[in-house]
Amino acid sequence: MKELKERIVFLDYLRLIACFMVMVIHALEPYYIDFSNGDLSIATRSDAVWVCVYEGLARSCVPLFVIASCYLLFPLKAETGRFLRRRASRILIPFFIWSLFYVWHFNGNIKEMCFNFPMAAGHLWFVPMLFGLYLAMPLLSPWAEKAGKREIRMWIGVWLFTALFPYLRRISLVFVGDPSFGSIAYLWGECPWNGFGTFYHVSGFFGYMLIALYIRRFVSQFSWSKTLAVALPLFAAGFAIMACGLYFRIPADGFPVREPYAAAVDFETCIEYCSLGVAAAVVGLFLVIRKITADGAFYRRVIVPLSEASYGTYLIHMIALAPVSAALKGVVPMPLAVMAVASIAFVSSSLVSFAVRKIPFIGKYLMG
């Protein structure tokens, strides 16, 4: 009971909500990506509309995970070495184990693991990114301890400017024409021989770490009416930017849409995790989820155990999601299939992760 009293209730709900949203995103991908070659592939206009709707609703998933991870950890209270050792054992050991499993199961290239996450486990890109934030925390924590409201807000503003980059790159192509180097519109110091432009070090998921810090320290709990008055417009704006941005990126040549890999990459530009639309939706959702305080029997017996198992759920969910998705695609209407696949993957993976974590000693190394 002492442990439960020390828990931040809404963070447990947040982890599960974000975890389910991840599975919605992954259940959606077969409806606009041909995984045999990575091409953009959309069968019907109805599928296109539902892709835009679901992406707008669920794309906030990964930033919500980041905020959940940073909300209590940043700034650090523990000694740097101890903190990094605990984080490494908590997330990196299961990451390597399951990377090996996916390489074996999907006939991937184990050599990739010397340099990156394996392509056979594409969803595991999240883990190295998150550990990168953990590496930055000891450096930034002394500043975060002393920084005031205005200063943190200023840096969030700088970061929000970098969240415009996915759109500014496209605007640059319109105003400047073909880029001087290659096919990418470079911005402010970027070029083929330098990827570290002016805003490189204040961009990316770093911004969500600052948002977590700012909200925890300076944003008091609102009433439900004030929360909704702030959160709903933010989420609606983010949803509109993402959904409309996606829809108007769809080639106008009619359906079915079949475009090369570059078109699939371009299609997702407006829903990059560190873009303005996603950021707006994330803050709106976070403010609403922060209002959840239900800590009764259901919370203690279901939410807490599944929240503690959520990292393992994330690691293994593709084992269930991929075959279920293949079985339901074309059999069940697309909007129902996406939710069915996500739900089946979420429940089955959560139960497996929960059970494996109960195995003495090795459970924590398998599921975190």
Model pLDDT, residue 1: 38
- C-alpha pair distances (Å), 28 with each of 22, 136, 238, 303: 10, 33, 19, 25
Could you state, in order of their start, the residue ranges of all structural domains in the chain?
Answer: 2-81+204-319
Pairing verdict, β 257-259 and 33-34: unpaired
Whole-prediction pTM: 0.92
End-to-end CA distance of the chain: 22
Q: How confident is the model at residue 181 (pLDDT cuts 50, 70, 90)?
A: low
Least confident of 147-151, 152-156, 176-180, 327-331: 176-180
Query: Which residues on neighbouring strands pair with residue 23, listed in sequence order?
Result: none
**What one-character DSSP code corresponds to residue 194?**
B
Amino acid at 26: H
Q: Which two tokens stand for residue 138?
A: 């000891």
Q: What is the pLDDT of residues 91-146, one digit of tens each?
A: 999 999 999 999 998 888 888 888 989 888 999 999 999 999 999 999 999 999 99
Structure tokens at 148: 């005031």
Percent of the chain with pLDDT over 70: 96
**Alpha helix (H) ranges present in 43-148?**
45-58, 61-73, 80-87, 93-105, 126-146
- What is the band of 265 on the pLDDT scale with cuts at 50, 70, 90? confident
What is the model's pLDDT at position 185? 83
